[in-house]
Amino acid sequence: MNFIMHNISFQREDRWLFKNLNSELMPGQCLQVQGANGSGKSTLLRILAGLIELQQGEVIRQQPLHYIGHQNGIKLNLTVAENLALQAALFNSSTCLLPVIHHIGLSPLQDTVAGNLSAGQKRRLSFAKLLLSKKPLWILDEPTTSLDKSGQDYFIHLLNEHLANQGMAVIATHHPLFIDEERNRCLTL
């Protein structure tokens, strides 16, 4: 099923953040949303995820989806392993957790409380849910923020694997991600 956004507009306090946005994604494609600070990228993504009510227009998408916002969606008082176990329960995932911890590169830190991780490590931990349960649509807000070079490469690898498996992704980013030309779509706010 394709992902379609049709004539989406959003108004905040008498100011139009964006007007009549249109885009369509086929399975295996990625939409990169770009724009200056305050142009409404995050708001658009929250609308597409269904967290903010749509004011005008229509979004056709497949539920369920994965959303990672500015905050990582992890509990800072739980350890890495406990966070994964909680997310596995939330997503009804029976995936074995140890390989996932290894995959995201946090094996030595699995008993560390998430609040004590660095910003980049927290980001890596937030990617765990992408592996725990496979969902056709990812909506990610600045996913490479605070990641080092190897972290960014790891994310690109994850994303390419997802797209190769006919997944779709909507990603807000300041720095364009290098994805195959035929998979890549762009939207500038």
Partner 1 sequence: MSNLIIAMIRYELLITMRAAYSWVTPLLFFIIVVCLFPLAIGPDIDLLNKIAPGIIWVAALLAIVISINQLFSQDREEGYLDELLLSSYPLTLLISCKLISHWIAHGFPLIIISPCLGFILNLSTHQEYALVMTLLIGTPTLVLLGAIGSALTVGIRHHGLLLPILIMPLYIPVLIFAIGAMTAASVNQPIVGYLAILGALFLITLAFSPLLTSISLRIGVNQC
Residues in touch with partner 1 (CB under 8 A): 46, 49-53, 64-78, 82, 85-87, 89-92, 113, 129
Nearer to partner 1, 51 or 186 (CB): 51
**Nearer to partner 1 (CB atom), residue 68 or residue 163:** 68
Q: Minimum distance between the CB of residue 85 and partner 1, rounded to whole angstroms?
A: 7
Tallying the residues shown for the chain, one arrives at 189
Nearer to partner 1, 50 or 105 (CB): 50
- Return the number of the residue (66 or 124) whose C-beta is nearest partner 1: 66
CB of 67 to partner 1, least distance (A): 6
Rounded to a whole number of angstroms, the minimum distance from the CB of residue 87 to partner 1 is 7
Closest CB 153 distance from partner 1, rounded Å = 24
For partner 1, the closer of residues 72 and 179 by Cβ is 72
Shortest Å distance, C-beta 121 to partner 1: 15
What residues have CB less than 8 Å from 150, skipping those under 6 apart? none
Could you give the strand order of the β-sheet that contains 56-60, starting from the edge strand earlier in sequence?
A: 15-25, 3-12, 56-60
